[in-house]
Chain A
Amino acid sequence: EEKKLSDADKTLDREGVEGVMNELDEYAVEEALRLKEAHGGEVTILTVGPEKAVETIRKALSMGADSAVHVVDPALHGSDALATSLALAKALGTIQHDLVILGVESTDARMSVIPAMLAERTGAAQLSFARKVEVNGSTVKIERQTDTGYDIVEAETPAIVSVVEKINEPRYPSFKGIMAAKKKPLTTLTVADAGIDAGNVGLGGSGTAVDEFAARPPKQAGTIVKDEGDGGNKLAEFLASQKII
């Protein structure tokens, strides 16, 4: 899938991309469903995004989530992380919850900031980069993936959890799931419905601005050699010519 920036206002061109689910969020939905299967409760999908995000919501519902909340409003166009996290935090205020589960990063922005921002905004515990989640009553314990291994981190609910892709294997929606999803409740909220001040989101409410951008020129074709018993030697010569060895 190709991602582009829009020339008009230097925002991510969301028209040009399919409304597919951010890959890591499939792991978040899967983990939520597993926790529900083990401990009971309900799974609500929350997304802030354009009309097209409905496709993502449907997919999550057909995987087995119970209901969804979609915050959609032209005022949100161009929101950066600061603004998006505000919208998510406000919308969370309309949903009763013990755990919020997110992916560690989005495939487009790749910032890995939303879960931490959400924890900061809501005051809930931050349990991020989880490769394993264990719930015991109101206590949540995770293995937090680190540069050198992992940390065991514990908190009481409510907590904000973000998951890495090693945590599980997301299920595919079944035919039955796809049919059932059509009847599941989907609440649509405008910015005003969610109690968000429109001036604090969108391009105007964001804390960052893109000055200019350029598509990177295609790389010059490199040298490719076929190994005829001397491929390793030729590579060594190349490395020497680059003064690497």
Chain B
Amino acid sequence: MAEVLVLVEHFEGTPKKVTLELLTLARSLGEPSAVYVGAGYDNAKAALAEYGAQKVYIAADTELDNYIIAPKAEVLAQIVGSSSPAAVLIPSSPEGKEIAARLAVKLDSGVITDAVGVSDGFVCDQSIFGGGYTVKSKVSKGTPVITVRPNSTPPEPSPATPSEEQVSVTLSDAAKKAKVLERVSEKKGGRPELTEAEIVVSGGRGLGAAEHFALIEKFADSLGAAVGASRAATDAGWYPHQNQVGQTGKTVSPQLYIAVGISGAIQHRAGMQTSKTIVAINKDPEAPIFELVDFGVVGDLFDVVPQVTEQIEARKG
């Protein structure tokens, strides 16, 4: 069977859930090989084997972490050159899409971003214009380079004993032009990551003040959910930008999306419209968000949110 490369997205060696999803998807298309770039492979090893990687390419040179994007594209291009895989799958994060972009130019291959499914012949399903259209497309030139959205394939284990190959890369001067001087974390810890979460609870301008986001956090915690925010809320400084959902924030596709005090502007919808089940709480019955919902409550969030949170906690017993 043809080899399918999967770029491992990891945090200090721990593979993100999307990596396991991509390995699962790659198994349905060919023989998955994981490509691990950076330090910390020992933390990733077990999970990559459990999700069926037949082979792991490891580029562990620590120099790779000093630059952005270009080094990973060079590692992938080198492996594609030596092993001629059938396709390269990359997580559809902002960084993943940029790696795919550079790789496609290096290979003179077509690139498809934000696939929500990939089937035989590497035909990709995409949901475009904020979910208004579904499109099937494929790469018609070179080795297909495809970025796949998180939460598109349920990850399923299929234990394997992968062979390991160390890859040594000599970075080009071009790849070393943008140097990272410092990495700054502003993360709010403890909750699931927005793009990977099964449930997302988002708050908007209706919250009225930063301190009222505590209501959203409590509601989210009762469901084990991630917290999102509209741009109105992040612009006001009520919640960090990393939590923004929408066109210029993150695209999420959870099992359940709950919008609280969010009107449902087109730019917000673009980031959440493909969620499986959508719920809204809004005091304005005319709010456009209600056009999308499976279940909506017209009411004041300051009444509804505490009540539902309490009910959920009570049902947990």
B307 touches A232 (CB 8 A): yes
**0/1 per residue, A115-135, Cβ < 8 Å to B?**
111011101111111010000
B181 touches A153 (CB 8 A): yes
**0/1 per residue, B99-118, Cβ < 8 Å to A?**
11110111011111110000
For A113, list chain B residues within 8 Å (CB).
97-98, 100-101, 104, 111, 113
B73 touches A120 (CB 8 A): yes
A137 within 8 A of B: no
A107 within 8 A of B: yes
A208 touches B295 (CB 8 A): no
B140 within 8 A of A: yes
Least CB separation from B299: chain A residue:
A227
A235 touches B304 (CB 8 A): yes
Q: Of B179, B186, B307, which is within 8 A of A154 by CB?
A: B179
**0/1 per residue, B107-142, Cβ < 8 Å to A?**
011111110000000010001110111111111111
B300 within 8 A of A: yes
A144 within 8 A of B: yes
Number of A-B residue pairs at CB separation under 8 A: 270
How far, in angstroms, from A141 to B182 measured CA to CA in the complex? 11
For A128, list chain B residues within 8 Å (CB).
68-69, 98
For B101, list chain A residues within 8 Å (CB).
81, 85, 111-117, 120
A151 touches B180 (CB 8 A): yes
Least CB separation from B270: chain A residue:
A110
Which of A67-75, A92-100, A237-245 interfaces with chain B? A237-245
Return A74 CB to nearest CB of chain B, in Å: 21
Given A154-B181, A207-B140, A235-B295, answer yes or no on A112-B223 (Cβ-Cβ < 8 Å).
no
Q: Of A112, A123, A227, A234, which is within 8 A of B300 by CB?
A: A227
B140 touches A224 (CB 8 A): no
A126 touches B70 (CB 8 A): yes
B296 within 8 A of A: yes
Find residues 164-217 in chain B having any chain A CB closer than 8 Å to their own CB: 174, 177-187, 193, 199
B223 touches A244 (CB 8 A): yes
Secondary structure call for the A interface: mixed
B133 touches A207 (CB 8 A): no
A147 touches B110 (CB 8 A): no
Least CB separation from B174: chain A residue:
A123
A152 touches B132 (CB 8 A): no
Given A116-B102, A151-B68, answer yes or no on A227-B298 (Cβ-Cβ < 8 Å).
yes
B80 within 8 A of A: no
B185 touches A149 (CB 8 A): yes
B181 touches A152 (CB 8 A): yes
B111 touches A81 (CB 8 A): yes
How far, in angstroms, from A21 to B143 measured CA to CA in the complex? 33
How far, in angstroms, from A216 to B223 measured CA to CA in the complex? 30
For B291, list chain A residues within 8 Å (CB).
219
Which of A116, A124, A153, A216 counts the most chain B CB atoms within 10 A? A116
9 residue pairs, one from A and one from B, having the closest CB atoms: A232-B307, A207-B110, A227-B299, A236-B311, A125-B177, A113-B101, A232-B308, A149-B186, A116-B101
Q: Which residues of B contact A (CB under 8 A)?
A: 68-70, 73, 93-95, 97-102, 104-106, 108-114, 123, 127-129, 131-142, 174, 177-187, 193, 199, 223, 235, 241-242, 247-248, 255-256, 270, 277-279, 281, 285, 290-300, 303-312, 315-316
**A-B pairs with beta carbons under 8 Å apart, 24 shown:** A3-B129, A105-B248, A111-B97, A112-B98, A116-B97, A116-B101, A116-B102, A119-B102, A149-B183, A152-B182, A153-B178, A207-B141, A212-B135, A215-B132, A222-B290, A223-B296, A224-B293, A229-B303, A231-B303, A232-B305, A236-B308, A239-B308, A239-B312, A244-B277
